[in-house]
């Protein structure tokens, strides 16, 4: 191989290396701007729509699976702390409200979570498939005005640490679910569920109690 040809190849390799580095740092910069940690895995089929003035934080170790839609508008904010998993086809939305999911919590397939005021989900919370969590209802007071035009009624929803929500549950506005509680499949939760209780049915009622942790338990 002659010398000029070799030099040309070396120049080409240097150029490709440099542009790959530039692309990598640009990608990192873009991720930082978007609020998504470079150590989070977001499937390429996810749709993230973040309007100006909104705040999105997806921390390291989070996994956002295929077909998930994340939407933030009207100053809404979403924070997914480390190791949160959002499985296929979930809709996670903040329309002017704040949604926070604590470390190691997860949404199973097809969940619909929309915050207009505040939805707080603690750590180690398991949320089964097709669960609906909303902190608002349509206004219905004035029957002379179409409901779609009436002001929304909102109240915060809080789900404490170590809760298990079964499949197809709906959690309505203003509800608090206590630490260590279980909500059975298909329940509609309209009132608070005390800690370490098992609630089920429509509307959800306490059907059982769990043994609260003893001081000697390792995680207490």
Catalytic residues: 138
Q: CA–CA separation, 58 vs 72, rounded Å?
A: 13
Smallest distance, ligand COA to C-beta of residue 56, A: 26
Contact 104, 83 (CB under 8 A): yes
Cα 207 from Cα 200, distance rounded (Å):
7
Closest separation between CB of residue 97 and ligand COA, Å? 25
| Identity of the residue, 94 or 131, whose beta carbon is nearer to ligand COA in the bound complex | 131
How far apart are alpha carbons 112 and 99 in whole angstroms? Answer: 12
- The residue (of 10 and 202) whose beta carbon lies closer to ligand COA is 202
3-state secondary structure of 202: coil
Least distance from ligand COA to the Cβ atom of residue 150, Å: 33
Dist. CA 128–CA 121, nearest whole Å: 14
User: Rounded to the nearest whole angstrom, what is the least distance from the CB of residue 219 to ligand COA in the complex?
Assistant: 20
Alpha carbons 31 and 4: distance in angstroms, whole number? 41
Q: Which residues form the interface with ligand COA (CB under 6 A)? A: 126, 128, 166-167, 182, 184-186, 198, 200-201, 207-208
d(CA 3, CA 209): 81
- Please give the biggest Cα pair distance in the chain: 87
C-beta closer to ligand COA: residue 35 or 166: 166
Nearer to ligand COA, 71 or 170 (CB): 170
């Amino acid at each position: 191989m002659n010398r000029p040809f070799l030099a040309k190849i070396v120049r080409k390799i240097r150029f490709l290396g440099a542009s790959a580095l530039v692309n990598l740092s640009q990608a990192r910069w873009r991720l930082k701007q978007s609020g998504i940690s470079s150590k989070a895995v977001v499937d390429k089929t996810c749709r993230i729509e973040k309007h100006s003035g909104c705040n999105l934080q997806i921390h390291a170790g989070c996994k956002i699976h295929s077909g998930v839609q994340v939407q933030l508008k009207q100053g809404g904010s979403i924070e997914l702390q480390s190791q949160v998993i959002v499985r296929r086809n979930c809709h996670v939305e903040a329309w002017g409200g704040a949604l926070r999911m604590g470390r190691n919590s997860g949404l199973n397939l097809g969940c619909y979570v929309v915050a207009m005021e505040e939805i707080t989900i603690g750590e180690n919370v398991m949320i089964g498939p097709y669960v609906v969590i909303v902190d608002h209802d349509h206004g219905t007071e004035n029957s002379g005005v179409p409901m779609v035009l009436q002001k929304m009624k909102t109240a915060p929803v809080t789900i404490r640490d170590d809760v298990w929500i079964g499949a197809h549950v709906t959690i309505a506005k203003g509800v608090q679910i206590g630490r260590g509680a279980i909500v059975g499949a298909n329940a509609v939760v309209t009132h608070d569920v005390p800690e370490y209780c098992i609630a089920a049915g429509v509307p959800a009622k306490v059907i059982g109690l769990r043994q609260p942790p003893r001081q000697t338990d390792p995680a207490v």
